Amino acid sequence: MRVDPDLWPLTTRVDVEGRLCVGGVALNEIADQYGTPAYILDEADFRYRIRRYRAALPGVRITYAGKALLTKRVARWVADEGLGLDVCSPGELATGLAAGVDPRSIVVHGNAKTTGELRAAADAGVGRIVIDCGTEIALLASQLRSPQEVLIRVAPGIDIHGHAAVTTGIVDQKFGFAVAEGQAALAVRRVLDQPLLRLAGLHCHLGSQVTDPAPYGEAIRRMVSLMADVRNHYGVVLTELNIGGGHGVPYVTGDAELDLEKLARVIDDALDQACATERFPRPKVAVEPGRAIAARAGVTCYRVVSVKHRPGGRTFVAVDGGMGDNPRVALYGARYTVTVANRHPLGPTQTVTVVGRNCEAGDVVANDVQLPADLHPGDLLAVACTGAYHHSMASTFNMVGRPPVVAVHDGRVRELVRRETTADLLLRDLG
Ligand SMILES: *Cc1c(COP(=O)(O)O)cnc(C)c1O
């Protein structure tokens, strides 16, 4: 199957010439107009994922994790579709505000927020600030002029057995307060002692690329038990429970994905059970998907620059992008799906390694992919599932400017972020 619907954007089609089209536009035309590499974003897919969430989890508050992919236009799609916005830096906050997102729908994260960042968030009137450490409690309180609703981030001690870089629910990692030794309870006490801090509830985030819904049920049971402890010790009934994001998506055919209907049942069952056991009123649950909304909307286009057959070994297809626009292969050993996008891939195929243009041997775009044996310089390649953590994680390694983000919808093309030029990069170099 050339275009597996589980991996490619909702509107992906192949036209009579064999060209891959997204949002009613041939990728080859976008590549001609905007150059390569380029990130293409299917607005319909992005909105569709949000609607799937709203339909599957009707009683749950949904906040989009902007760190997956954020531009002003993307923030507006999120707000249009009725979701809140998670941010974790002044830049992300500014993007949401510049897009006109209602600050009350913004949740501010981060394990090392500075005084200035906390003040900026509070002054902007954000809906929630998630407190990650003891220092932040007094620091935030000292910056406030009016009451601020906050959540306390807890590490519930749940291991998703994912990549270490994206496993955040265990105790031995940097985020949040541990439940053991009363650390989380003490944080609650200290927040309650600050008259301008309004403790709305608790937060946890287990990690990323989670495809089994069961850990979310376990998180709810542990967190409700902690909420009951807080009530028993301090007489305060917390009403909000944010269980984070991390919902997994497929990158290659056959990969698992988190089933939203199953997640909805797990959340419901865990709430029923935990609230009955603890005789605790049902809290309002919130989730924060990033990848699961943005990933499949995105496709990255590259031009083939060279094809190199190693004697008795691998075939390397070098393209004009690489780890600068996609660091995920180098960071996590991520796998990707690649297809030729400018023509019918007729004839025999070969197994190749698609590599980038950066000066590092680890600069791989995709390992072990099947591409036409007659692939040649000038062919256009499209890589699926690159909407999340690509634009947002891109670097300028080797002084290569970052690609544009181009949105497509109903045959229309709109450049959301322009290409970064060498002149842009030199502008920062003060000589
Ligand atoms: C990264 C992050 C998310 C989103 O993770 P995804 O894997 O993109 O869904 C949600 N909440 C918090 C606190 C995060 O750090």
CATH number at residue 166: 3.20.20.10
What integer pLDDT is reported at residue 159 of this predicted model?
86
Atom of ligand 1 at shortest range from CA of 248: 7
For residue 8, being part of any structural domain is answered with no
How far is ligand 1, taken at its centre, from the CA of residue 393, in Å? 14
> pLDDT tens-digit profile of 199-243?
999 999 999 999 999 999 999 999 999 999 999 999 999 999 999
What integer pLDDT is reported at residue 186 of this predicted model?
94
For residue 3, being part of any structural domain is answered with no
**pLDDT range class, residue 348, cuts 50, 70, 90:** very high
Q: Is the CB of 245 under 6 A from ligand 1?
A: yes
Angle ∠(248,252,257) on CA atoms, nearest 5: 25
167 and 257 together in one domain: yes
How far is ligand 1, taken at its centre, from the CA of residue 308, in Å? 39
Mutate-to-test residue for ligand 1 from 205, 216, 257, 285, highest number of ligand atoms within 8 A of CB: 205
Q: Is the CB of 289 under 6 A from ligand 1?
A: yes
> pLDDT tens-digit profile of 274-299?
999 999 999 999 999 999 999 999 99
Atom of ligand 1 at shortest range from CA of 294: 8
Mean pLDDT of 6-23: 97
> What tokens were used for 220?
């709810």
Atom of ligand 1 at shortest range from CA of 153: 13
How far is ligand 1, taken at its centre, from the CA of residue 207, in Å? 7
143 and 32 together in one domain: no
Q: Is the CB of 67 under 6 A from ligand 1?
A: yes
Mean pLDDT of 106-116: 96
Report CA-CA distances (Å) from 72 to 98, 268, 394.
7, 34, 17
What integer pLDDT is reported at residue 172 of this predicted model?
80
Q: Is the CB of 208 under 6 A from ligand 1?
A: yes
> What tokens were used for 370?
């099947």
Which of 291, 326, 356 corresponds to the end of one domain?
Answer: 291
Best CA proximity match to 56, nearest among 393, 298, 301, 292 = 292
The distance in angstroms from the start CA to the end CA of the chain is 52
How far is ligand 1, taken at its centre, from the CA of residue 85, in Å? 11
3-state helix, strand, coil in the chain (%, to 5): 35, 25, 40
For residue 164, being part of any structural domain is answered with yes
For residue 5, being part of any structural domain is answered with no
Query: Rounded CA gap, 205 and 55, in Å?
Result: 22
324 and 180 together in one domain: no
Query: Rounded CA gap, 336 and 382, in Å?
Result: 10
259 and 304 together in one domain: no
Mutate-to-test residue for ligand 1 from 109, 163, 203, 210, highest number of ligand atoms within 8 A of CB: 109
- Taking CA atoms only, the protein residue closest to ligand 1 atom 6 is 246
Q: With a cut of 70, say whether residue 377 has pLDDT above it.
A: yes
Mean pLDDT of 251-262: 97
285 and 146 together in one domain: yes
Bridge partner residues of 20 (DSSP): 14
> pLDDT tens-digit profile of 130-144?
999 999 999 999 999
Mutate-to-test residue for ligand 1 from 260, 288, 293, 332, highest number of ligand atoms within 8 A of CB: 288
For residue 2, being part of any structural domain is answered with no
Atom of ligand 1 at shortest range from CA of 208: 7
For residue 4, being part of any structural domain is answered with no
Cβ density class 141-167: b for 16+ within 10 Å, e for less: bebbeeebbbbbbbbbbbebebeeebb
160 and 308 together in one domain: no
Q: Is the CB of 162 under 6 A from ligand 1?
A: no
What integer pLDDT is reported at residue 140 of this predicted model?
97
- Taking CA atoms only, the protein residue closest to ligand 1 atom 10 is 245
Which of 246, 265, 291 corresponds to the end of one domain?
Answer: 291
143 and 74 together in one domain: yes
Which of 291, 308, 334 corresponds to the end of one domain?
Answer: 291
> Longest Cα pair distance anywhere in the chain, in angstroms?
73
Helix, strand or coil, per DSSP, at residue 183:
helix
Q: With a cut of 90, say whether residue 160 has pLDDT above it.
A: no
Q: Is the CB of 246 under 6 A from ligand 1?
A: yes
Query: Rounded CA gap, 83 and 49, in Å?
Result: 12
Helix, strand or coil, per DSSP, at residue 221:
helix
H/E element, 319: strand 315-319
For residue 7, being part of any structural domain is answered with no
What integer pLDDT is reported at residue 1 of this predicted model?
66
Best CA proximity match to 176, nearest among 207, 214, 141 = 207
Query: Rounded CA gap, 70 and 76, in Å?
Result: 10
Q: CB within 8 A of 52, min separation 6: which ones?
A: 260
- Taking CA atoms only, the protein residue closest to ligand 1 atom 3 is 245
User: DSSP alpha helices (H): ranges in 81-213?
Assistant: 90-98, 115-124, 134-143, 183-192
99 and 195 together in one domain: yes
| Number of domains composing the chain | 2
> What tokens were used for 135?
């220092």
For residues 93 and 126, the answer to whether their CB atoms sit within 8 Å is: yes
> Domain containing 179: what range?
43-291
**pLDDT range class, residue 169, cuts 50, 70, 90:** confident
Atom of ligand 1 at shortest range from CA of 203: 13
> pLDDT tens-digit profile of 25-75?
999 999 999 999 999 999 999 999 999 999 999 999 999 999 999 999 999
228 and 357 together in one domain: no
Name the active-site residue from 88, 133, 359, 385. Answer: 359
Q: Is the CB of 328 under 6 A from ligand 1?
A: no
> What tokens were used for 227?
């909420």
Query: Rounded CA gap, 340 and 381, in Å?
Result: 5
Q: Is the CB of 244 under 6 A from ligand 1?
A: yes
Q: At what angle do helices 134-143 and 115-124 cross, to 10 degrees?
A: 50
253 and 396 together in one domain: no
- Which amino acid belongs to residue 236? V
Bridge partner residues of 229 (DSSP): none
Q: What residue has token string 């906040």?
A: 63
For residue 1, being part of any structural domain is answered with no
304 and 270 together in one domain: no
Its pTM stands at 0.96
Query: Rounded CA gap, 151 and 197, in Å?
Result: 10
Report CA-CA distances (Å) from 404 to 199, 269, 364, 379.
41, 44, 20, 19
Atom of ligand 1 at shortest range from CA of 389: 8
211 and 157 together in one domain: yes
CATH number at residue 344: 2.40.37.10
Mean of pLDDT over the chain: 96
Helix, strand or coil, per DSSP, at residue 240:
strand
359 as an active site residue: the answer is yes
How far is ligand 1, taken at its centre, from the CA of residue 160, in Å? 14
Best CA proximity match to 324, nearest among 401, 424, 417 = 401
